[in-house]
Amino acid sequence: MPLLCVNNLSTVLIDAFTMKTLVLLGLCCAAVLAVPPPPVREEGVAADRCTADVCKAEDGCRCATSQSPLSDVKDAPQLISLTFDEAVTDDLYNNYWQPILFNRNNPDDTPIGATFFVPHEYTDYQRVNDLYNYGFEIAVHSITENNLQQYWRSASEEILEQEFGGQKKILTKFANIPEEDIIGVRTPQFQLAANYSIEAYMASGLVYDSSWPTLPDHPLFPYTLDYLSNQQCLLGSKCPNEAFKGFWVLPINDLHGADNKECNTVSQCNITGTADEIADWLTKEVDAIRTGTRVPLTLVVESQWFGKTENSLEGFNKFLDRLTENKDVFLVTQKQVFEWMKNPVGLADFKTEFPQRSAACNTYSCKLKSQSDGKDRYMNTCVPCPLNYPWLGNPEGN
Ligand SMILES: *[C@@H]1O[C@H](CO)[C@@H](O)[C@H](O)[C@H]1NC(C)=O
Ligand SMILES: *[C@@H]1O[C@H](CO)[C@@H](O)[C@H](O)[C@H]1NC(C)=O
């Protein structure tokens, strides 16, 4: 910007423009030179390489690195986020989430946290309200949860804003969750549409993404997109390469699954066996990082795993029982992971938080036609039923 201004000025001098123009341009240059403008996103311009001398923690910037933000690595709390990205239904709530997650405490005697990335179709918003009031984090998954990878990879910014911003509106209205508490997003099937995804997220007031997997041998701490990410782009996803100041990526650090093959969800790891064998496998995965860099671990838990793989529910419960016996392992929301990254403290100063909430919900059961297949959907909401089933472009169901 200053360069452009100076160039204009000399052109103006040579061409002997009017005095008025000169004065205006002069003022513009003076202002620009006095206070350097904040770096704004330059559309279509690739971000600069991230180095420690330009990207500083005190400015809220972090490069993608496998190095702990603490000088004494072993002093860090081991943070683990259990994350779910399925439609929130009464069945999953009663059969899995309540028995696994409720009434389980962290070493500081505070209930554990978890994050739900909520898609729209089939979701019961009264249950979303219950999860929120219990203290869990509610985040965005999308409206359609379209199962074609190609749809997400090549979506326009406008569609993505309708998908993510629209779902945030739906959660706010129908589950009565305060807008400011919905800050995270996971794109279906981990398929980013490069710069468009992040633009759409930011336009929707979302501040962190949880859709970018990294191989188990390249674990990364959460980082910002102020500068170019050096994270490998996997699964055919299109990764962003413009600068998005202050936007955070919480990488999904992959696990070692069957035959030592990498996998990004517990179900896709294809581990089978007795409950003890399943618990041993997960414990080993955690211990590998806990005795290493203590990078925060995001576990993507698909509840269908519990139905599909024998002993997985019991094994997962055993694993969690063992974890919470450790004094340095904390099950927290993704939001807490990102807050810890902004202010990384050692174990002695680390406290989990468990919010007291009471978002109202008067339950209404709505029967509405879905635009996706013209069939009826039953949707429980915390407010009177909308006229239409909420959908892309009409999240409030007007
Ligand atoms: C994102 O921005 C970079 C830098 O301009 C550009 O090379 C890339 O093609 C953009 N990606 C998309 C999908 O527009
Ligand atoms: C798990 O099974 C699926 C389907 O057969 C396969 O695509 C995937 O690669 C397997 N993953 C691992 C870690 O073995």
Query: What is the pLDDT confidence band of residue 25, given thresholds at 50, 70 and 90?
Result: very low
Both tokens assigned to 285: 């995965």
Atom number in ligand 2 closest to CA 269: 13
* Residue 11 pLDDT greater than 80, yes or no: no
pLDDT at 18: 36
* Residue 33 pLDDT > 80: no
pLDDT of amino acid 40 = 54
Output the residue whose Cα is nearest ligand 1's atom 13.
194
Q: What pLDDT, on the 0 to 100 scale, is given for residue 235?
A: 84
In contact, 224 and 247? CB cutoff 8 Å: yes
Q: Identify which has the larger pLDDT, 237 or 252.
A: 252
pLDDT at 28: 42
- Closest ligand to 242 CA? 1
Dist CA 127 CA 93 (whole Å): 7
Ligand nearest to C-alpha 42: 1
pLDDT level of residue 41 (50, 70, 90 thresholds): low
Do residues 230 and 55 lie in contact, with contact meaning Cβ atoms separated by under 8 Å? no
Distance CA 307, CA 263 (A): 19
- Per-residue pLDDT, averaged over 222-234, amounts to 94
Task: Look at residue 216 and give its three-state secondary structure.
Answer: coil
Token digits of residue 353: 């938080």
**Contact call for residues 318 and 286 (beta carbons, < 8 A):** no
Q: Is the pLDDT of residue 6 over 80?
A: no
**Across 20-24, 108-112, 150-154, 299-303, least confident range:** 20-24
Which phi and psi angles does 392 have, rounded to 5°?
A: -50, 130
Question: What percent of the chain clears pLDDT 90, i.e. is strictly above it?
Answer: 83
Using N-to-C axis directions, what is the helix angle for 19-34 and 2-15, rounded to 10°? 160
Rounded CA-CA distance 191/207 in Å is: 18
pLDDT at position 163 over 50: yes
Kindly give, in sequence order, each residue whose CB lies less than 8 Å from that of residue 375, ignoring residues fewer than 6 positions away.
369
Tokens of 276: 């003890």
Q: pLDDT tens digit string along 333-386? A: 999 999 999 999 999 999 998 899 999 999 999 999 988 889 999 999 999 999
Q: Would you state the pLDDT for residue 42? A: 62
Task: Examine the pLDDT at 43 and tell me if it is beyond 60.
Answer: yes
Tell me, using a 6 A CB cutoff, whether residue 242 lines ligand 1: yes
Q: Ligand 2 pocket by C-beta < 6 Å: which residues?
A: 257-259, 261, 263, 268-270
Averaged pLDDT, 226-242 = 91
| Closest listed ligand to the CA of 46 | 1
- When pLDDT is averaged across residues 11-40 and rounded to a whole number, the result is 40
Residue type, 148: L
Residue 330 CA: distances (Å) to CA of 46, 255, 272: 37, 19, 26
**For residue 325, which of 39, 29, 107 has the smallest C-alpha distance?**
107
Ligand 2 atom with least separation from CA of 261: 13
Of the pLDDT bands very low, low, confident and very high (cuts 50, 70, 90), residue 231 is very high
Q: What's the half-sphere exposure (Cβ side, CA atoms, 13 Å) at 88?
A: 32
Average pLDDT, the chain: 90
Question: Amino acid identity of 217?
Answer: D
Ligand 2 nearest atom to the CA of residue 257, by list position:
13
The atom of ligand 1 lying closest to the CA of 46 is 4
Q: How far is the CA of 241 from the centre of ligand 1 (A)?
A: 6
- Report how far ligand 2's centroid is from the alpha carbon of 262 (Å): 9
Digit-coded pLDDT (tens) for 73-126: 999 999 999 999 999 999 999 999 999 999 999 999 999 999 999 999 999 999
* Phi and psi, residue 297, nearest 5°: -115, 125
Looking at ligand 2, which residue's alpha carbon is closest to its atom 14? 258
